[in-house]
Structure 1
Amino acid sequence: MPYLLDLEKLQLGDIILQSGTSKFSWWIKKGTRSDYSHAMLYVGHSIIHALTEGVYSTNPQRIIVNSDRHLKVLRSKSQLTESSRNIICNYARNLSGSLYNKVEAISSPILNRFDKEAISSGQFCSRLVAQAYKQAGISISNNPDYTTPENINKSSSLIEVKNCLIVAEQRHIDFAATDDPILENQKRTFQWLNVARTLFANRRIKIQTINDVAEALMENQDLDNEISKHIKDSKYLEHYDYDKVTNSYRYNLPLFIKKYQETDIDLFFQELNKEPDLILRHSNNYFQSGLNYAHLGLEFHKLHTELYKNLLKLSEERISILFQFATIIRQPKLIEITNYLLTYIKKII
């Protein structure tokens, strides 16, 4: 019987362990004597994890397993403060784009026993999770730089959260089988980011993330034009609009009403609940990119300022549909909430 995560039961910072079925997953489970081969971090309607392709986000509704024993949710024994949750989640998000380090991942069962620091800034799944918690001053492993999914599973700092799975209906299975726009965005991001890695490597500067590029450009502004050209050529800046193709109902009231009739009111709340976090993150990035552009005048920052502005406009379009729908079904509180979000975005952009 297929299962997926029940998002209503999850909290920011929850750790999700998965029993994978690939050959590499089998090796990890055998080598660590564990039922689990993969660790992920829930950051709010999205999961951050490290796979061999690199670090990126995943829609948790795309994770379908064949047994309720193949997913396990762990949570900090001590109640996380809002500040701690933000530190953990933001740290993980900022690792997006990082390369996977298979050698260090394979070495982690042995090196976890020692006080050995990471050789590189490369990532693997359990390192990402443990290091994110370390940023908030919480130790979930003997050595966060070299930890395994089983180390996390047996951590005395964590407890299991029961009943976090639901039986997957056919609509869930159908959705999980559709093309994933996140994978396309990952492809476009790595296309220009790999070029930037090479350019900076020639100057003995190691690059993992987009933030690393932004920081390195401060002292290497002569690379701005070349990197910006590759960013534009990769179509990375245009991917934000891809959601209109894959989820057109979010931007068209008749389509939204039809989709709602096929599901239920949960659709409205699923769409609404993810927006505040997106708006907060995109507005913060919009502000920081704009500030960097005003300070340095680099095209790299100008391009990202425009990107985050476009992402905010996209949220505005989606929320406008929700506002209209709330008006149709005559829900004053939902009208008030969606109108507040629309007003907030208008003030920013």
Structure 2
Amino acid sequence: MKYILDFEKLVPGDIILESGNSKFSPVIKTITDSIYSHAMIYVGHSIIHALTDGVYSTNPQRVLTDDPKGLKVLRLKSPLTEQARNTVVNYARNLSGSIYSVPEASLSAVLGKTRKSSASRQQFCSRLVAHSYRQIGVSIANNPDYCTPEDINRSAKLNEITGVLKPADEQEVAFAESDNPIRENQRRMFLWLNQTREVFAKRKIEIQTESDVASFLMKNNDLDGLVCEFIKDSEYLEHYDYDKDVNPHRYEIKALLEKCSSAEHALEVFFGEINKEPSEIARHSNSYFLSGLNFIHLGLEYHKLHKQLYRNLLLMSHDRLVVLCQLAEIFRQPKLAEYCNYQTNYIQRII
């Protein structure tokens, strides 16, 4: 029996501890006297975490465990305001692309009991989670710079949330173990980011995230063309097409109907898909607006490329919603069809 997170019971900002099965997991668990070796943060239909190849996102539906005790969800005892939750979530999201530091992580079991701070901007799993909460003035560990998953597990600021695991059915296991298009997107991002890091390092500038690139290009605009070549060569800007190849049912009504075994299953698929779209549209429309504004203000090709990227991502949401609208109409759900049309009309207005 395998178990999976019931992500409908999660709220953005929830912390997920995992027993883990990486090559470092047994060592971490032994040193920290814990059953957990990994910490992640749920940001809404996605999880942000740091592994040895860097910081990136993953789908919570891809997190499986053989042991129901192998996953644990923690939530802040004091309810978060919407503003505070957004601060935590956005900070974690913006760390995507950061470099993982094995040496820094290795010091946590010892330095976690001290107040020693770190000058490093590199990440590891529990630091990422603790730093995200530090942005709102909440310390979930004695030392947010050096902490372990077990330090977070024992935090007096957090409560365990029960009932968030469920047995995974065959379809859920198959999906969790299938090829992950997000990993391909991360591979492309790290490809151009690593090349950009090397160029900026020659000017003694440290690049960790995409936000760093945008910030430092303002004073190093002579590198704009070179960085944009890195981005285009990595095919990062074309990743939106990759999802169409991996998940054709999201873009073709015939493929979606073939995926549905019954009317009940069709509605289940519908709600699984439709619930993702509002937050995606909100994030991408905001990024589309800011990229356009930055391009007008700074004239950098970097922002022009990103404006086009977010436009394409919004168009993908539009295409997915059109298919969902067709599904709702086939199963005579006019309110659901209207809900889809409202969002497609919004996208059309802003782009």
- TM bucket by the smaller chain? over 0.9
Give the whole-Å Cα distance in 1 for the aligned partners of 2:211 and 2:91.
11
Partner of 1:300: 302
Does the 8 Å CA contact 2:257/2:266 hold for their aligned counterparts? no
Match of 2:340 in 1: 338
* Whole-angstrom distance in 2 between the partners of 1:266 and 1:116: 49
**RMSD of aligned residue pairs (Cα, Å):** 1.0
For 2:291 and 2:117, locate their aligned partners in 1 and report how far apart those are by CA, in whole Å. Answer: 32
Counterpart-to-counterpart distance in 1, 2:345 and 2:36: 45
Structure 2 residue matching 1:73: 3-state secondary structure: strand
* TM-score, length basis structure 1: 0.98
Residue of structure 2 equivalent to 1:224:
224
What's the counterpart of residue 313 of structure 1? 315
SS of match in other structure, 2:141 = coil
SS, match of residue 205 in structure 1: coil
| Alignment partner, residue 214 of structure 1 | 214
Unaligned runs of 5+ in 1: none
Q: Which residue of 1 aligns with 2:74?
A: 74
Counterpart-to-counterpart distance in 2, 1:254 and 1:191: 35
Distance 2:119 2:87 in 1: 23
C-alpha deviation, 1:264, in angstroms: 4.1
Determine helix, strand or coil for the equivalent of 1:23. coil
2:98 partner letter: S
Check if 1:272 corresponds to 2:278.
no
Matched residue, 2:171: 171
Residue 347 of structure 1 corresponds to 349
Percent of counterpart pairs with the same letter? 57
Equivalents in 2 of 1:116, 1:203: separation in Å? Answer: 29
Distance across 2 between alignment mates of 1:103 and 1:92: 21
* 1:254 to partner: Cα distance: 1.4
Corresponding residue of 2:189:
189
Measured in 1, the distance between the counterparts of 2:190 and 2:145 equals: 24
Structure 2 counterpart SS, 1:69: helix
Query: For the residues of structure 1 that align with 2:55 and 2:231, how far apart are their CA atoms?
Result: 19
Aligned pair count?
349
C-alpha displacement at 1:179, in angstroms? 1.0
SS of equivalent residue, structure 2 residue 45: coil
CA–CA distance in structure 2, aligned partners of residues 173 and 288 of structure 1: 38
Displacement of 1:115: 1.6
Q: Which amino acid aligns with 1:278?
A: E
Give me the whole-angstrom Cα distance separating, in 2, the residues matched to 1:266 and 1:156: 38
1:246-257 to 2 correspondences below 5 Å:
246-257=246-257
Partner of 2:157: 157
Aligned to 2:293: 291
Query: Shift of residue 109 of structure 1?
Result: 1.4
Moved segments of 4+, more than 6 Å? none
For 1:16, the equivalent position in structure 2 comes to 16
